[in-house]
Structure 1
Amino acid sequence: MTNSNSNQNISSEQKERLLSALKERFEENTERHSALDWTAVQAKIEANADKLRSLHKMEETGGEPDVVGYDESADEYIFYDCSAESPAGRRSLCYDRKALDSRKKNKPENSAADLAMEMGIELLTEEQYRELQKLGEFDRKTSSWVQTPDDVRQLGGALFCDRRYDKVFVYHNGAESYYAARGFRGVLRV
């Protein structure tokens, strides 16, 4: 399944707006990446049109992507969705295509796994979600699907996380379920 815009370049105006928003967010949240330099990050983004499109999709759907780390061995900057709540443009989705196809009626428009793939990003793992929560307080009113182990998924379940009572919780639900307050957060390596 491909998004009609997934193979299209973003306009130079969209690129400028995106880079400006990313730079501003980077500078306002230095605690997420204190030892990193924006100039180097921007150069990596501009050198890869596919990653630029993925970041644009993350921003466009309300994810507020920001750099949360750097993998020196791979020479990659790691971006997570850092919006306070699960990205508004990625909610009301079941977990994956199998779950979507299993619904006989009242199907959501898409699944989290399919939309992530269309965007060129991956769902956060539970470990990555917990890392994100060390950088701030996220999903205090919403929840986010996370990558689910195969054994859980084979039994029909899927995992999601949120933050309540100053703690991070991991829950399970039927993978075909979807809620207006549940979306997903992504990770992108640039």
Structure 2
Amino acid sequence: MARTQGSRADITGPLIRQQALRLFARHGYAAVSMRKIAEAVGVQVGALYAYTADKQALLADLLTAHMEDLLATWQDQPDAPALLRLERMVRFHIAYSLDHSDAVFLSYMELRNLTPENHLKISVLRDRYEAALESVLRAGQAEGVMRIADTRLTTMALIAMLTGVTNWYRAGGRLDRQAVGDLYWGLARGTVGA
């Protein structure tokens, strides 16, 4: 399929993903048509199909890219003490979430709109990230520095708490990012009984 005159694949493809992410995060996947994405990019709607099969494929691509980037960016230090590992993960998750708030929002709010095959693909990636945190918690239990009744539930609770920062944090508000990280670290320590 020919591209719109004046468009460039190295610019148009990323712009389509950027605008789709923004529109899905602001209005919801169901409310955004391919036509709205095309308008935001400045191309004819037919041009989108040179870059994606359909809206579902675009959503799956955005969620996959987010989870793959999250997993690639997180660097655990398995030989470090568990509390230090947990602190690093808490601060990482807060910073990453604030830097990628639209992708984080989409990753949690639009799973329901994925086909079963795409949902499974994203679930596998999410499970890997959750397992990374759960391994830190298990190490903390083994070291005797964390008191946790249920590691799986605590893992999910911590991730939900940390991800929630994207719902309320605003740059220039009462708390800066460092203060938010410090406070969330205190909350996480309390959650694991440390």
TM-score for both structures, normalised by structure 2: 0.30
Q: Which has the larger radius of gyration?
A: 2
**Normalized per residue, which structure has more helix?**
2
Higher strand content, 1 or 2: 1
